[in-house]
Amino acid sequence: MRDQVLKRWIIVKEPHRIPLKKVPKNSDEGAIEMLKELRSFYPEAVLILAELAYGNDLWLTDGDEAIRLDEVVREEMGNDR
């Protein structure tokens, strides 16, 4: 399903600040790595992963949830070997 993504953005929302838009490499790995880096730089911020899919669907995912889901998938893939 993720291969349907045309473009990705990460939105960084800090209290009392203008939201920042970051553009990761257009891959799941690039987005997850950037989310992890941004989490270390902005520990109190809300991170949002926005993905534009074919058909102009906009998918929004909480950044911390995206990181956790990636960790679960990687763990399950490791257990299958």
| Dist. CA 79–CA 81, nearest whole Å | 6
List the strands of the sheet with 5-13, edge to edge: 20-22, 5-13, 46-53, 58-62
The pTM score is 0.84
pLDDT tens figures, 54-80: 889 999 999 999 999 999 998 888 865
Q: Per the structure block, which two tokens stand in for 27?
A: 């891959």
pLDDT tens figures, 4-56: 889 999 999 999 999 999 998 878 889 999 999 999 999 999 999 999 998 89
The residue ranges of every structural domain in the chain are 2-79
Angle, vertex CA 66, rays to CA 3 and CA 73, nearest 5: 70
Q: Per the structure block, which two tokens stand in for 65?
A: 């949830």
